[in-house]
Every structure is written in C-alpha cells, then in structure tokens.
Structure 1
Amino acid sequence: MRITFLGTGTSSGVPIIGCTCPVCRSLDYRDQRLRVSVHIAVAGRSLVVDTGPDFRQQMLRARISQLDAILFTHEHKDHTAGLDDVRAFNFRQQQEIPVYAEPRVIEQLKREFAYIFAEHKYPGVPQVRLHPIEDEQQPFEVLGLTVQPLRAMHHRLPVLGFRLDNFAYLTDANLLPDSTMAQLRGADTIVLNALRHEPHLSHFTLSEAIGILEELRPRRAYLTHISHQLGRHREVEATLPPWIRLAYDGLAIDV
C-alpha cells in the first residue's frame, strides 16, 4: 500500500493569503501546504480521502490518472469543495465514482452540489454513486478492501478517520473516544492532526497529538493538518521523537 500526502495544511492552507510570517515566507517546499487530503494506492486501486478546494491541483501534481473511490471524513468545505473535479475521472473511466460518507455528510453534499444530484442533470456534471456509512463501529468494503471507520470529535461535530489494514488516518479531531483508541492499537502507521502549539477549540495541538501517539506507540507516525502557527517544518521536526515525523505535501510512504 502506497500513501501519498496530497495536502497537509489547515483550512486556509500555507502560506496564508497576505501573511508575512516566517513560515508563510519560507522557501522550503515542505512549508507549502495545500488543504488536507491523502491518496491510497493498493492492489491496483486508487482512493482519496477528502476532495478539498485544491483537489484538481493535487491530482495534477501527483500525476494521478485513475480514481476508483472517495472517502469523506466530514462535510467542511476544506474537505469537500473539490468534488466537481471528479468529472475528469468520469470522462477518462466512463463510470461513476463511488463516494463513501456518513448520511449527514451525504445530505450536505446534496445541498452544496445540488446540480450533481438533480433529477434532470446538465450534461457533463460529475457522476458519483453514494454509499452511506451507517455504522461507525462496523467495517465496510470498498473495492474489495476492508475499511474500518474511526470515530473522532471535531469540537461538537462527529467526524471519521479510517483504518485500512495497518494504516490509520485521522484528521480534524480534538477527541478520540476509548473505542477509537482500541481500534488504533496495533496499527503500524498512524497519521494524526496537529494544528499548532496553542490550544484550539477543535484540533489537537502538537503536544496533544504526541501524547496520543506515545500511548498508542505505532512503529511510525505522521502529523498533518498543520497551520503556519506550528512553525517551520525543519525546526519543528527536529524536536520530535525519531518515529514521529511531520508530513508534507508530496510525501509518499509504503505501508
């Protein structure tokens, strides 16, 4: 299984429009962060988790020419706004793209992309097939792959992460229930969000994320959904245990 980090930034991306802080002015490519998303390639299949506003750019940059399914963590715009650009894959593959999300998220997609789901569709709109994730505790199958949903809380909003085999991905969270911690145990590679150093209403801080990872103790871990407030990549990563790394856009790992 190959994991490619398509985007590792927070909702505004890094650099932030108009900001002149050292991170936003950094020339280090690892400090250039598009909105958070990840690509999973396994057994000839190609999946993405979330289609944020940078989706088109991410697909072009990673040279992804096949898309077989989309998993959505939740309905916030920085995770869904690029859904229209799946049209390119519809044209190439001549088939619908399966989309997996909780019923609440599906209803939001239907409102925000009403033209996709209209009874009388305009020619050329995206073609997707909706699959509701009804039970957060039950694994489900995507293209022959077993996916375990992982419940997390994003302030008061329930969101999902996903575990495929020994790889687990969680973003936009500030609380993991005991049941999720149990589901994460034994994972070889865990990706977890770490927004900044200061406390935040709906995201883990760096120290909170490290604390969770130290309790779970996977073989390796990567931090994502990073804001410019966390600091420059090379400086922050130098403070981390060797088995915890900051993810960056374009990083590819085999798990």
Structure 2
Amino acid sequence: MRVTLLGTGDTTGTPTVGCDCETCEQARERGLERTRFSVHVENERTDESLLIDFSPDFRYQFLRDEVSLPDAAVVTHIHFDHLDGLGNVFRLLDSLEVYAANETDSVTGESVAETIESKYDYLDAVTVRPTTPHESVRVCGFDLTLVPVEHPPFVCYGVAIEDPMTGTKLSLTGDTSFGISDRSRAVLADPDLLLADAIVPASLCEYHPLGGRHVDDDDVPRTFGTKHMTREGALGLADELNASETRLVHLAHFYPADEAFDEPLAIDGETYVL
C-alpha cells in the first residue's frame, strides 16, 4: 500500500490566497504547500489506485505528484473542499466508481451518495456506489470501511483501508471533532498510519466564538469549536487508537509560523509505503 498525501490543508489551504501572515509567507519562501484535502492510495500488488476525497485542487495535485488516475474513489462528506474536484474527471476517465455513505443526512435530506448522484448527474463516467457504514467493501483489492464521525451540521465519515493480503492498515479520521463514538474508534484502531484532522493548536480555541470542547485531564481542548480536532486532540486520539505512525492533516494557516511545519504536521507530497 503506497499512500500519497495530495492535499493536507483546510478549506483555504496554505499559503492562503491574499494572505501575508508569517505562516503563509514562510510557506512561500520554503516552497511548501498544503492544498485542499485529498489522499491517493495505490495497491501496487493489483496495479490499482483509490482516491479519498476530490479536492478542488485535483488537476494541480495529480500533475505535481505524478500519481496515477484513480480506479475508484471514496467521498467522506459533501463540503466543497472534499467533493468539488469530482468534476475534474470529465474527459479524463471512461469510468469511475465512487463509494459514499448511504445514510440520510437530517440536514440535507439526502445521503452523501445521493448528493453526489444529483450534483454530478452529468458525469457519465461516474457510478456512485451507496455504502453502508461499518460494513466493509472490497475496493481496488483493499477492504474499505466507512465510519460515522462528528462534523456538524452534516454527516461525515472516517475511513479504514486494510490490505487483506498483508494486514497493513490506513485510517483517516475524516473531518471530525474528538467526539468519535467507541464503535467508530474500534474500526479505526491499530493503524500502521493514521491521518488525523488537526486544524489548529489548542491554544487558538480562545479565539473561536464557541471556544473549545472535549477537554483532557489538563483542561486542554481536544476540539476546536464543534467541527475539528485540535492538534492536541488529534495526538490524543492517535494514542487511544494505538497508531504506529501519525500525520496531522486538514491544517489551517493559523498555526504559528514557528510550529506550522514541525512534526508531525504533514505537508503535500509526503509518501508512505505500508
């Protein structure tokens, strides 16, 4: 299993357009970037690849990192920075199976699968595969499982991807607060590599209108507002899940410049062979 982090940034990416903060300036000077979130997973045994989420930066990411076009894909939720890149498959692919949860969202009245079908009905190449959370499906030679996580107001899912031949496992938290259910945590547990949402350090919770939530024993918030984990929350979750290696993703440019590119914060283009 070869994992390439195509996009490790939040909804605006780093550097952010029109921003001259110290973090964005440092990213420009060092030639580092965090485009909108997407992960490429290659099964070198079957010569197939799976894409997790369709970044609006799809075209740029695939050209920059020279990865193969996907044979299948999974969408974790319907926010634009995870879905709107799907239109880029137009004229690039003859066929693409897109796996997405079949649970109805109480806010939209549709499942993620139904939203994709209606929004991208013009893409003849795309076949949506409605997928039941907590039930494993075989995709590109991998066992893929979607699990509900907490990213209000819409439904969102984490993903576990396991190679049945080697036993290697990749887990992604999806966009989520620290409030992930025990049932979902059990599916995500014991990964060789964990990609965990960690939008900002906990110290920035004081600037959020809703503050922080899910504080640890030292009163450090593990959730920033309601939708995303803090760095400290993501690392705490990694410990609880017994992750062998952890990379923090979906990172905002609000990280202070002197720590914005420190381990284990990921940047685009990182590759891991599991």
- Interval containing the TM-score (normalised by the shorter chain): 0.7 to 0.9
Structure 2: distance between partners of 1:178 and 1:69:
29
Pick closer, same or farther for the CA change 1:216–1:143 going to 2, 3 Å. Answer: closer
Q: Does 1:157 align with 2:154?
A: yes
SS at match of 2:92: helix
Which amino acid letter does the alignment assign opposite residue 52 of structure 1?
A: S
Partner of 2:55: 52
Q: What amino acid is the match of 1:22?
A: E
- Report the CA distance between 1:88 and its aligned residue: 4.3
Partner of 2:34: 33
Question: Is the contact made by 2:117 and 2:128 (CA closer than 8 Å) also made in structure 1?
Answer: no
CA drift at 1:228? 0.6
Contact 1:5 1:251 (C-alpha < 8 Å) held by counterparts: yes
Q: CA deviation at 1:55?
A: 0.7
- Secondary structure, aligned partner of 2:199: coil
Give the Cα separation in 2 of the matches to 1:222 and 1:47.
19
Structure 2 alignment gaps of length 5 or more: 103-110, 163-168, 206-223
Query: What residue is the counterpart of 1:84 in the other structure?
Result: 87
CA offset digits 1:91-123 (Å, max 9, x no partner): xxxx3111101231122223333433xxxxxxx
Q: Which amino acid aligns with 1:110?
A: E
SS in 2 for 1:246: coil
Following TM superposition, where does structure 1 have runs of at least 4 consecutive aligned residues deviating by more than 3 angstroms?
none
Matched, 1:186 2:190: yes
> Cα distance, 1:236 vs. partner?
4.6
Percent identical among aligned pairs is: 30
CA distance in 1 between counterparts of 2:31 and 2:198 reads: 19
Over the aligned positions, Cα root-mean-square deviation in angstroms equals 1.7
Report deviation, 1:216. Answer: 2.0
- Give the letter for the 2:30 counterpart: D
Alpha-carbon displacement from aligned partner over 1:38-58 (angstroms, at most 9, x marks no partner): 000012111110112101111
8 A Cα contact 1:171 1:225, kept in partner? no
The code of the aligned residue for 2:40 comes to: H
Q: CA deviation at 1:9?
A: 0.5
Residue identity in the other structure for 1:97: L
Which residue in the other structure is 1:235 paired with? 259
Instruction: Indicate how the Cα distance of structure 1 residues 204 and 195 shifts in structure 2: closer, same or farther if over 3 A, else same.
Output: same
Per the normalisation by structure 1, the TM-score is 0.86
Maintained 8 Å contact 2:160/2:170: yes
After the TM superposition, which residues 162-181 of structure 1 pair with which residues of structure 2 at under 5 Å, given as runs? 162-165=159-162, 166-174=169-177, 175-181=179-185
Supply the distance in 2 between the matched residues of 1:181 and 1:109 (Cα, whole angstroms): 26
Task: Check conservation: 2:4, 2:271, Cα contact below 8 A.
Answer: yes
C-alpha contact (below 8 Å) 1:12/1:35 kept by paired residues: yes
Residues 217-232 of structure 1 correspond to what in structure 2 (within 5 A)? Answer: 217-232=242-257
The whole-number CA distance in structure 2 between the counterparts of 1:185 and 1:206 is: 18
Asked if structure 1 preserves the Cα contact closer than 8 Å seen for 2:159 and 2:188, the reply is no
Residue deviations 1:59-78 (CA, integer Å, cap 9, x gap) = 11111243200110011111
Asked if the contact 1:140–1:146 (Cα under 8 Å) also holds between the matched residues in 2, the reply is yes
SS at match of 1:85: helix
Q: Distance in 2 between matches of 1:16 and 1:237?
A: 15
Across the two proteins, how many residue pairs are aligned to each other? 234
Q: Determine the C-alpha separation between the residues in 2 that align with 1:68 and 1:28.
A: 34
Contact persistence 1:65–1:89 (CA under 8 A): no
Matches within 5 A, 1:1-255: 1-26=1-26, 27-30=29-32, 32-42=33-43, 43=45, 44-90=47-93, 95-103=94-102, 104-116=111-123, 127-133=125-131, 135-165=132-162, 166-174=169-177, 175-197=179-201, 198=205, 199-232=224-257, 235-236=259-260, 238=262, 245-255=264-274
- Preserved CA contact (<8 Å) 2:172 2:188: no
Residue pair 1:36, 1:52 contacting (<8 A) in 2 also:
yes
Structure 1 residue 186 displacement after superposition = 2.0
